[in-house]
Amino acid sequence: MSEPLLLFAAVAFVAGFGSSSTPSEARALFVFGDSLVDSGNNNYLATTARADTLPYGIDSPTHRPTGRFSNGLNIADVMSEQLGGEPTLPYLSPELQREKLLAGANFASAGVGILDDTGIQFVNIIRISKQLQYFEEYQEKLSALVGRSQARKIVGHGLVMIALGGNDFVNNYYLVPLSLRSRQFSLPDFVRYLILEYRKVLVRLYELGARLILVTGIGPLGCVPAELALRRSLSGDCDPELQRAANMFNLLLVDVVRELNLEIGYVSFIAANAFNMHMNYITYPEVYGFVTSKVACCGQGLFNGVGLCTAASKLCEDRDAYAFWDAFHPTERASRIIVRELLSGSEEYMHPMNLSTILARNPTV
């Protein structure tokens, strides 16, 4: 692991990345995945996987819940900022029409995974196959607005960000003892199966016109407050089995990204090692200005990791001092740290290059 202090050497550069862009010049962003990047699609669905009540959104500009599983902005929102645009609207939002289509769209839905049977307990969520269908539908709307040729250009020059995989473990394989998937597969076989299914999703994104595709690996599942509480880790040590699962998944994901780039003959896919990025501030919270990387800001029980974040939960006063907002999700400040690494991180975190490098090679004009 590289020295965590090195991260801040890049802050000045990253903070200005895209700052000179006007909204019309900003690169479009298309977001797929789960609650780490959902900007509020689940608000429009009859599901229990939603973040539409306080204290979610307490640090947003309106200080009201937005459907994001954060105290403020999430990783996708911060990425929008760095691309020079406004936070990408949820695809299901009635506001996403006409010129607002030019900024892209967020198709993500809390609770989903790579597999369709992941998150079945949440009932009505936008599974990844449906997210891809919505992407096709979006392009038809965009073509009606600007013409098919210009629509293809906007999509091809846009950045696709996809965050999937964590729920396939915590809300599927490890959801209950002797789950259906854990009886069907050993852990290594399950990871290989997941990766093969994920590969199909990535290929489909490329077929639909995406040419800059950021594939974030999964973070340290064994270190989130929910798992520390569930497994009664009184010492705060991360669960080794979940850590092993995340590492296995991320290693194979890099292999898939490498293979896909070789097949198409240029770099279209970038793999981000979210595990190492998160482990930096989890291992060295004080270096990053956090008071704790174990206790969630909002929650109850051990590590504030039991149940949902609600108005009845214990709520920290200084959200910037906490790495985790709730039992599973980072605070806005932690999300900003992750985006800095996505943009300027070394090969330890980004394969085969960081986003700043590939975006510079692929200007919008």
Residues catalogued as catalytic: 35, 326, 329
Bond preceding residue 352 cis, omega within 30 of 0: yes
How far apart, in whole angstroms, are the C-alpha atoms of residue 110 and residue 326? 14
How far apart, in whole angstroms, are the C-alpha atoms of residue 312 and residue 83? 37
Retrieve residue 332's tokens: 């806005």
- Please name which of 16, 67, 187, 49 lies closest in space to residue 124, comparing C-alpha atoms: 49
Give the pairing type, strands 314-315 and 298-299: antiparallel
**Each residue of 171-200: b (16+ CB within 10 Å) or e?**
bbbbbeeeeebbeeeebeebbebbbebbbe
What's the distance, CA 345 to chain centroid? 17
How far apart, in whole angstroms, are the C-alpha atoms of residue 304 and residue 301? 5
Which spans in the chain are helix H?
Answer: 11-16, 75-82, 128-146, 148-157, 166-168, 180-184, 187-207, 225-230, 240-264, 274-283, 332-344, 355-361
- Please name which of 297, 50, 254 lies closest in space to residue 165, comparing C-alpha atoms: 254
Q: CA quadruple 231, 222, 247, 162: dihedral positive or negative?
A: positive
